Copies of this chain bind each other. A is one copy, B any other.
């Protein structure tokens, strides 16, 4: 079986199809490869011959002759994250409509795996790349800049990468976070927990330190924390590092970190979460302390999910246009593949605060 399948002896070659159709190999390649010009009569002849011989189009062979694989390389931080599976749906739908296939690789938020993934995809000669990069601001991103220099267009999604002049599709994470936190402050909250903060063994002791840590953070994470800090500053609320997580980003760590904050002498009356696992972790810590959403503690977070609407109470969540982000990214990429050489475009799509019932006046939290 193994040998059998390694050289497909059954499958007729382009040469055999050419012979049967009485035309040249190049003509068969153009016809079956759908490139270059072929007269309708010739195309019909070739297709009949190919069908008669049961020809399996070999896109590898075609790629060798045309250099075009009609394949997009998609590098996402974590396909199991609902945000990225939404993005993926948008990418796949748009790519398929345009006649492209998508090779998807997941990097688990690890920059080394991202470098591997890009190398693999370039080696497979994908026509372009959509990348949600795990690169922090000071990380080496030559694996991306080299791809671009080499002529393989790259569209960044969800995260911008400093030093990289290329197309991108994002939301305004800083403003989305600022306005959500501002709405908590508007409801009288002054002690607001933040998860996820940047992962570090030496948490910032003051605002200045925090900003320099943020300069190294993943772009979207940094922007969301900046938005939180903007809202505090507008309201003249002092920065408190004890209310910002610095642990590894998983559900269990979020549960422990938020539980620790709720045990403070001056505990938070509200929680702002930047990601689904942080939200679920925070909800676990509230359950463990028998604290009720809204009545005891308010919560707003990224990203909205179907289940958020059936929680009791339903969760107020920031909704990103995931499918649209994926669609715009692949449209932009395909435009580049088709030769668009205009200046890099930054697509900033609108996010939305879906107001439900997990947030409200701090009075409730004080039991007044």
Set of chain B residues within 8 Å of A309, measured between Cβ atoms: 280, 284
| CB closest residue in chain B, given A120 | B101
Q: Which of B58, B61, B307, B341 contacts A305 (CB 8 A)?
A: B307
Q: Is A106 an interface position by the 8 A CB rule?
A: yes
Set of chain B residues within 8 Å of A89, measured between Cβ atoms: 79-80, 106
Q: Is A257 an interface position by the 8 A CB rule?
A: no
How far in angstroms is the closest Cβ of chain B from A225?
A: 23
Q: Complex Cα distance A11/B4, Å?
A: 33
Contact with B along A78-96 (1 / 0, CB 8 A): 0110100110110010000
Report yes or no: B280 in contact with A310, Cβ–Cβ below 8 A: yes
Q: Complex Cα distance A109/B219, Å?
A: 36
| CB closest residue in chain B, given A284 | B310
Contact with B along A155-182 (1 / 0, CB 8 A): 0000000000000000000000000000
Q: Which of A41-49, A123-131, A185-193, A203-211 contacts B (4 or more CB under 8 A)?
A: A123-131
| CB closest residue in chain B, given A66 | B6
Q: Is A183 an interface position by the 8 A CB rule?
A: no
Set of chain B residues within 8 Å of A311, measured between Cβ atoms: 307, 310-312
Besides A2-B341, A56-B123, A102-B104, 16 new A-B residue pairs in contact (Cβ under 8 A), listed by A number? A2-B339, A11-B150, A59-B123, A59-B124, A60-B124, A60-B125, A71-B124, A79-B92, A79-B104, A92-B106, A101-B120, A103-B103, A104-B104, A280-B307, A284-B309, A284-B310
Query: A residues bordering B, Cβ < 8 Å?
Result: 1-8, 10-11, 56-61, 63-64, 66-69, 71, 79-80, 82, 85-86, 88-89, 92, 101-106, 120, 122-125, 127, 150-153, 251, 276-277, 280, 283-284, 287, 305-307, 309-312, 336-339, 341
